Amino acid sequence: MPTTRPMRADARRNREALLAAARQTFLDGDGDAHVEDIARTAGVAVGTLYRHFETREALIEEVWRSEVDELCASADDLIDQHAPDEALRRFLLLLVDHAAVGKGMSVALESIMATDSPVFDDARSRMADALTRLLDAGSAAGTLRGDVTGSTLLRALGGVCSLRATGGWIDEARQIAGLLLDGLRHGATHS
């Protein structure tokens, strides 16, 4: 039975550099970037990229998964550090930033969506759960209405994800997030 050895420090650095380079490439809007470009930006050879990620799609999935991990982990931290409605506001803005990475990845993500990859089902579920925790905290504090679920709010945010990545779209997305937050405050017991 093979044992899994911990990754060497240089291999871990290379993997992290590849993920950072891919994330920045997608954030810059280059969803068609070639693996050679990503490897060059990371300062490694293409062979190193393929040692860590069997395919370009595997790299894209890992960038996406890392983004979702970071985003969902932030919900509890925000609840601990801020009033519930402020925590939700900050989380919504992080969701916009997350969508910005996704916009740059949109072409690449389409190929993953065409497969049976569980990445998107898992991401939707985890983001809805994070939103539910934030909404429940706000409802308990009386600053957010209690009749909206995380899943419903995530669906409402779908418009943010479908905005075209043109000049000013992030500002519009932030404005939409603000409108949603205003609506969630309306009817709260302690508005």
Domain residue extents for the chain: 56-185
Structure-token pair, residue 101: 């990475």
Q: Which CATH architecture does the domain made up of 56-185 adopt?
A: Orthogonal Bundle (1.10)
Q: pLDDT at position 108, please?
A: 52
Cβ neighbour number for residue 44 with a 10 Å cutoff:
19
Mean pLDDT, 10 residues at a time, the chain of 191 residues:
70 92 79 84 93 88 85 94 96 83 58 59 86 96 94 82 67 88 89 56
According to the 3-state scheme, what is the secondary structure of the chain? Answer: CCCCCCCCHHHHHHHHHHHHHHHHHHHCCCCCCCHHHHHHHHCCCHHHHHHHCCCHHHHHHHHHHHHHHHHHHHHHHHHHHCCHHHHHHHHHHHHHHHHHHHHHHHHHHHHHHCCCCCHHHHHHHHHHHHHHHHHHHHHHHCCCCCCCCHHHHHHHCHHHHHCCCCCCHHHHHHHHHHHHHHHHHCCCCCC
Q: How far apart are CA 112 and CA 120, in angstroms?
A: 9
Q: pLDDT at position 189, please?
A: 82
Q: pLDDT at position 101, please?
A: 67
Q: How far apart are CA 123 and CA 129, in angstroms?
A: 10
Q: Which pTM value belongs to this model?
A: 0.76
Handedness of CA 100, 159, 77, 67 (dihedral sign): negative
